Structure formats: C-alpha cells, structure tokens
Chain A
Amino acid sequence: MIDALAYAVVVLAGVAAIWGVVTAIVNKPPGKAQLLYAAGVEVVTVLQSIIAAAKMISGFRPAELATTIGYLIGIVILIPIAWLWANVERTRFSGIVLAVAAVSVLAMTLRLLVLWTPAG
C-alpha cells in the first residue's frame, strides 16, 4: 500500500459513486465516458493491489495477513462484475449498480489503510 495512491482510489471511487447516482437521478443509463472512467478507477485499484502484493512478497507482513490478502483480491473484482451487470440491462439503475461497487471499493480501501500495519 502507498497512502497517496490509496487516497487517490478513495477520491476516484467517490467521484464514480456520485456520477452513478447523478445519472440515475436524471434517468439515464451510464454513458461511454462514465464507463471508461469506471474502467480507469479499476486500473488504479488493480495497481494498488499489485503494489501491496509486491511489498508483501518483499517482506512486509501486515498484522492480519489473511484478511489483508482477501481484501486485496476482493477489491479488484467488484468494478468488473458491476460493469458487466450494469450493462446487461441499461437503465437508470445501471448507474446505481456502478455506484454500489464504487462505494464498496472506497470502503475497502479505507479498511485496507487500517489493516496495513506491521505484525507484532
């Protein structure tokens, strides 16, 4: 984990969540820019998990190892699944589906920041 990158994920995911709610309010399915943006948030999230994995391979041991690994894996599958689920039936609710995934990524990143303390 790199704190600055984690906070970047929090902000990017927060914007994705708000964007999803806004398109739902104006009764539109997510547009192309919004879907690309979600993909961008995913790229940064994956980057964060890769860096964390690299740090753990090179010796860092968080206090709750199994939970941390679970979070690092789980966090990267949320947006892709929501992306597909939102695109099968494109309505205003597709935006909310993306928002739900984005809020989860946000919450999990905040939790990861807490989990990222050395063992012992």
Chain B
Amino acid sequence: MTGVPARQPSADVRRTNSGAGRVLVAVYGIFALAATARASVQLLTKFDQAPLAYVLSALAGVIYIVATVTLARGTRASRRLALVAISIELVGVLSVGTLSVVDPEAFPRATVWSVYGIGYGFVPLLLPILGLAWLWHTRPDAP
C-alpha cells in the first residue's frame, strides 16, 4: 500500500445512472426521441416556414440526446459533458420560452421550448433543473 490518499472505492461513487437517476434518464430519452423526431419532420417538410424555430428544435433534440447518453453512462468524463449539455438546455428553454412569449412573431411555429415547454406540460422547463440538481446530488466529492 502506497502513501496515496485512499480514493472512494468505485462501488461507493454515486452514479448518475443509478436509483432515481434511471427515471431521469428515461424522461430525457423520451424527450430526445420527441424533440429529434419533431425537428426532423419540421426541417424536412416545412423548413422555409420558420427556419429559426426549426433549427432550435433540432438543437434541442441534439442536446436531449447528449444529456440522455451522458447521464446513462455516468462516468466521470460523461458527467462533465452532461453538465455542459444540461446548462445549455436550461439557457435554451429560458431564452426560447421568454422570446416566444414577448415576441410570438419570431416563433410562429411551436418548438419543444416554446412558452417554456407548455406543449409538453412544462416538463422541458423542469427537466434541466432536475438534471442539474441530480448532477449536484451525485457529485463525486460530496461528503
């Protein structure tokens, strides 16, 4: 045994993909599917009607996919990526939500983030908050 301070054994590391985290991953997975499918239909069939809204829809889909995969993996590296993706998600839903309320003209067509995700029971607004809380709760250096 060396003089290196003992690290937490891997079994004790709180993983993002365990316990309640499995529910979070499931919800993220459904939004990854919903947002990506919706954006694909919008981009393929009526892109010229609202290019900005539909590109944002696609971005939301990609972010949900990244968050789903990184939270499901639950490694140290994937946690970092999850933090970035979920932070962008929070900024996205807040800014698109606010813009769609103050300037509906800019968002003539609904995206997952329009009016803070009203079309999806406001889950898109709740999800990044829960995601960040979960990352904090499972942080490796927690006491």
Contacts and interface: CB of A to CB of B under 8 A. Distances in A.
A-B interaction:
yes
Interface of A: 66-67, 70, 74, 77-78, 81-82, 85-86, 89, 91, 93-94, 96-97, 100-101, 104
Interface string B20-48: 10110111011001100110110011000
Contacts of A97: 22-23, 26
B37 A85 contact: no
Contacts of B78: none
Contacts, number: 44
A100 B26 contact: yes
Contacts of A89: 18-19, 22
Contact of A96 (B23, B33, B44): B23
Nearest to B120: A107
The A contact surface, by secondary structure, is helix
B33 A74 contact: yes
A74 B30 CA distance: 10
B37 A101 contact: no
Contacts of A70: 37-38, 40-41
Contact of A94 (B22, B33, B38): B22
A93 B44 contact: no
Contacts of B20: 93
A85 B17 CA distance: 10
26 contacts: A66-B41, A66-B44, A67-B38, A70-B40, A74-B33, A74-B34, A78-B30, A78-B33, A81-B29, A85-B25, A85-B26, A86-B22, A89-B22, A91-B19, A91-B22, A93-B20, A93-B22, A94-B22, A96-B23, A96-B26, A97-B22, A97-B23, A97-B26, A100-B26, A101-B26, A101-B30
